[in-house]
Structure 1
């Protein structure tokens, strides 16, 4: 990526995370530029990362190999329509805006190489995961550029069908909130069992971190790890049976179905 010129349209939190990840990987500041309407944010990003910032989107994309659309979904249509005349035919467009389908981006920008991404908020810590879908105009080299771009803040996984973006949204895009909810519930339950709230919270968070690391670094899947720590007639089994008796797996499926359906609804609304 050190020879790739990258322009960000919008310099909010996710864009700033990507910029920071690229810089940490050795991409020079001279290869990155961004546009941002907020003057204070422009000054902050320029000071933090040493890149050139613009108030004007057209100025930012001039000469770029990759243009990253990092604006809010609600303003994407207007931004794209204003930007279309200033883009070069070979530029790769990478959209990290939730809920905007490729068909809409192509309608607003014209037919051009386009990668649609669904990152998640742990990207702010460079521990994210993103689902990526490329349209037919994207070359093998451009797929590699997009993968390296999103890989700067975590894991990047390619999807064969765009419709699977809704499933990615349900699993990983919204996923951090599910774990936060479970942490809230575990902390509250520990407190009701008599633990001081701070102790219950620290026990919960460190357990979540340790379990996640075990799952990521193990050579077996989560189901096997669960079985290994669930002794017959023990305390863990008592808890697991209670979860399952309450329909835990079915409830998780219903929750993700609801998230995926809402993702599809938003794409329909925002892509008009």
Structure 2
């Protein structure tokens, strides 16, 4: 597939990550550009990736096949209203802003082909995972374009229903913070067991990394991997039983439901 011309509206970390991922895959710098109101942001992303930058959003999208909305959710409405008169029917809109529904984007931009994405912060290391939803106006070719774009920074998974974006937000969008919390807690506990803090921190973080690599590289699910490393009456079983006695699984479920509810609330608030 020939590389589409891509315009990034907003030149923050996620836009820079996507541009860097595409460049690493061999996409030509000349097929991408970015706009941002901040001169420092424009200078940084332009110098780092050798792409054209613009202060004007409307100027940036001229001739683009794909327009990536990478601005903060709080300013999305204003940005869309500014762009509405300059977007053509052939252009694909890809939004990576949390909490902004396709209906809101279509209300602000007019009836457009829209793909809504929920990436997560490991995308900054090209180790992300993104949930994608396409509205009915998105063609098969445009789905490929969106998949190529988000695939540059990690795994892409398509959703059949937009409401599932809230669940993706709860599981993977917010998910890195849950693992950071566990690493924090394990580090503190290791320190109380007598380990130097730096040693406890490295043991915890690298154990999380190794476990994740085992889980993503295995042909069995996490419960089987857990069973394989949990010897009867051993040290791991003692820890697992303590987690479960404290209601670990139920607490995780409650936490994810809270995140999903908040995602839906934000979509309602920000989409007015």
Query: TM exceeds 0.5?
Result: yes
After superposition, what is the alpha-carbon deviation per residue over 1:147-167, rounded to whole angstroms, capped at 9, x for unaligned? 110000000100000000000
Matched, 1:266 2:258: no
Q: Any gaps of 5 or more consecutive residues in structure 1?
A: none
Matched, 1:242 2:242: yes
Aligned counterpart, 1:189: 189
Which shows bigger deviation, 198-207 or 182-191?
198-207
Superposed displacement of residue 2, structure 1: 4.7
Superposed displacement of residue 3, structure 1: 2.9
Mapped to 1, the partners of 2:76 and 2:210 lie a distance apart of: 39
Mapped to 2, the partners of 1:3 and 1:207 lie a distance apart of: 39
Mapped to 1, the partners of 2:109 and 2:125 lie a distance apart of: 32
SS at match of 1:163: helix
Mapped to 2, the partners of 1:208 and 1:195 lie a distance apart of: 18
Aligned counterpart, 1:156: 156
Mapped to 1, the partners of 2:34 and 2:48 lie a distance apart of: 13
Instruction: Tell whether the 8 Å contact from 1:2 to 1:26 is kept in structure 2 after alignment.
Output: no
Mapped to 2, the partners of 1:7 and 1:202 lie a distance apart of: 40
Instruction: Tell whether the 8 Å contact from 1:2 to 1:27 is kept in structure 2 after alignment.
Output: no
Mapped to 1, the partners of 2:165 and 2:41 lie a distance apart of: 30
After superposition, what is the alpha-carbon deviation per residue over 1:94-143, rounded to whole angstroms, capped at 9, x for unaligned? 00000000110000000010000000000000000000000000000000
Aligned counterpart, 1:224: 224
Mapped to 2, the partners of 1:212 and 1:90 lie a distance apart of: 40
SS at match of 1:231: coil
Aligned counterpart, 2:111: 111
Q: Any gaps of 5 or more consecutive residues in structure 2?
A: none
Matched, 1:251 2:245: no
Mapped to 1, the partners of 2:193 and 2:3 lie a distance apart of: 57
Matched, 1:63 2:60: no
Mapped to 2, the partners of 1:119 and 1:198 lie a distance apart of: 30
Aligned counterpart, 1:214: 214
Instruction: Tell whether the 8 Å contact from 1:2 to 1:28 is kept in structure 2 after alignment.
Output: no
Matched, 1:168 2:193: no
Mapped to 1, the partners of 2:82 and 2:215 lie a distance apart of: 46
Aligned counterpart, 1:29: 29
After superposition, what is the alpha-carbon deviation per residue over 1:22-55, rounded to whole angstroms, capped at 9, x for unaligned? 1111110100011011101111111100000000
After superposition, what is the alpha-carbon deviation per residue over 1:34-85, rounded to whole angstroms, capped at 9, x for unaligned? 1011101111111100000000001100000000000000000000001000
Aligned counterpart, 1:102: 102
Superposed displacement of residue 219, structure 1: 1.1
Aligned counterpart, 2:38: 38
Mapped to 2, the partners of 1:191 and 1:168 lie a distance apart of: 34
Q: Aligned-pair RMSD on alpha carbons?
A: 0.6
Mapped to 2, the partners of 1:210 and 1:72 lie a distance apart of: 33
Mapped to 1, the partners of 2:36 and 2:128 lie a distance apart of: 23
Matched, 1:15 2:37: no
Count matched residues.
272
